Amino acid sequence: MHHLLSMFLLLAIIGQHVSVQFPGRHYKSVLTVPNGMSWGSWGHQDMCPAGMYAAGFSLRVEGHVSGDFDDTALNGIRLHCVYWSRVTEAYAVSNAGHWGEWTNIKWCPSGFLKAFQLRVEPSQGRGDDTAANNIMFSCSDGVVLTGDGTGWGDWGIWSPVCDGKGICGIKTRVEGPQGKGDDTALNDVQMYCCD
């Protein structure tokens, strides 16, 4: 672990963006919302490095595919983690789908991410299911950031507000490729809150 931390610090010093899994970080609570879908399985927990908190996020999104093709919409969520000084950045990402491109990072003007809201399309029966489509975060400074996801489905209720310094980790529920079946990719998310 000491060698891994040294490597992370070296990469951070030379300005690289890194994703190093820190599953053992202690967290205070888990933030959830009730409107996520249940296709797929939960991925690994990925945490910001010790002392860092999520101050921004980016999304992996597949835009609408014209014709009778299979839409997946929201495929992944990256939390962009910083220290209070915001000098060094890393990111945490759990499972992500295979489709789409990563959007630009949206940052809290100050402070950290504190709560989230998920936009989800319910089951379409024989139609094209997309499950989670977008996410919104509130920052500790009161600013609300809306992701660049798609517009299908409805916004659910807000998660509880983090009772620590901020969101520090993520775990996502993602459905893998279905072959000739209906792909949904990201279905649900949990955020971890740290002191």
| Residue 167, φ and ψ in degrees, nearest 5 | -65, 135
Instruction: Please state, in angstroms and rounded to a whole number, the distance separating the CA atoms of residues 14 and 86.
Output: 15
Per-residue pLDDT tens for 137-147?
999 999 999 99
Note the pLDDT of residue 132: 87
Task: Copy the structure tokens of residue 90.
Answer: 């890393």
Please, what is the average pLDDT of the chain?
83
User: How many other CB atoms sit within 10 Å of the CB of residue 1?
Assistant: 7
Rg of the chain over all Cα atoms, to the nearest angstrom: 16
Most confident of 67-81, 110-124, 168-182: 110-124
**pTM for this model (two decimals):** 0.81
Note the pLDDT of residue 170: 97
Amino acid at 128: D
pLDDT at 6 over 50: no
Q: Which domains does the chain have, with CATH numbers?
A: 2-194 (2.100.10.20)
Distance of CA 166 to the CA centre of its chain: 14
Of 59, 188, 194, nearest to 117 (Cα)? 188
Mean pLDDT of 35-51: 94
Mean pLDDT of 170-188: 81
